Amino acid sequence: MTADSLDNFEYKKASEHVSESSRRHYWAVAIGLQDVDGLTVSRYLREAAASYTKGERTLAETGELVRAHHANSLDEASAEADLVSQRIAELLERGLFSLAPEILPEIHRYLFQDLDSSVYRPGQFKTERMVKQEEILNGDSVLYADPAAYDMSLRGAFASEVAKAYTTFSGDELKSFCHFVAFLWQIHPFAEGNTRTVAVFSELYLNYLGFNVANEPFGNHARFFRDALVRAMYRNVAAGITPDDSFLVAFYENALGFAENKLSREELICTSLFENPDLLRNVDPKEALRR
């Protein structure tokens, strides 16, 4: 018995109480999220993940094996997928979370710490606003935040979120949560890995709020998740397109077990941009994917 407790239960490492279903979930999410950037994990990583899921190795032990395996790897894509997957699983097991703007760079730093720092710049904000062409927008890009606005945008978003009091998480509450997640994603402060960082943050937040997240959505529909973020934050008045977070809401309804919505990427396509490529707004219309 300890001085601050009236029972006989001892404090133990949280990792010693992780269920097999939770271990399986960590890896389903970690591996599935690599599809956001078109990456595929190696067979070696899957075998290491299986040994952790079965309780044969700890997550720290699988991490040592995976990092040693890729110490001199020439397959950069496979190395990135494997190393980041391992780090995602570690963060999910740890449950690292704080509802403060500093959490995003901390998550990013943790996820990409094993990769080329000159490319991924773990935990550091980029200094120039970028564009990224999107298939569902016929090559147009979301209008991402300017680096000068990163700090104030993040502070404002988190200050607003802290003031909320979620209960059932249905209806407007879930919509509000989705808007917050999409807004953080649109800020896009990192050179690489923004979507994976925000996805991991959102799951950590949901766990913090007391919700269980299903394996299937992040495990099998990571590309839909990214496209849903695009549609939630893309605006083009001339093309008749306004931000639509209904797709992101459908994704999280599935993730939380509230519904079994069909998650089809085809429904996210902005047809007006294909019918008239000259309506592309944030990149030169000459760069349209189809004309």
Instruction: Supply the Cα-derived Rg of the chain in whole angstroms.
Output: 20
Identify whether the C-beta of residue 154 lies closer than 8 Å to the C-beta of residue 184. yes
Q: What are the structural domains of the chain?
A: 16-94 (no CATH), 116-291 (1.10.3290)
* Residue 178 phi, psi (nearest 5): -65, -40
CA proximity to 199, closest of 248, 145, 138: 248
Closest CA to 223 of 145, 140, 144, 135: 135
Maximum separation of any 2 CA atoms in the chain, in Å = 73
The DSSP-derived string for 233-291 is H--BGGGTB----HHHHHHHHHHTTS------GGGG--HHHHH-GGG--SS-GGG-S--
Cβ atoms of residues 186 and 179 within 8 Å: no
Give the Cα-Cα-Cα angle 28, 110, 118 (nearest 5 degrees).
115
pLDDT attached to residue 133: 97
Comparing CA positions, the residue from 61, 66, 73, 26 lying closest to residue 45 is 66
Q: How many beta carbons lie within 10 A of that of residue 256, not counting itself? A: 18
Using an 8 Å Cβ cutoff, are 52 and 27 in contact?
yes
Rounded to two decimals, what is the model's pTM?
0.92
pLDDT at 1: 47
Contact 265, 245 (CB under 8 A): no
Give 209's Cβ-side CA count (13 Å radius): 22
Please, what is the Cα angle at 270 between 171 and 274, to 5 degrees?
175
Do 97 and 204 contact (CB within 8 A), yes or no? yes
Under-70 pLDDT residues of the chain: 1-17
Write down the pLDDT at residue 6.
58
Amino acid 2: pLDDT: 52
Q: Is 42 helix (H, G, I), strand (E, B) or coil?
A: coil
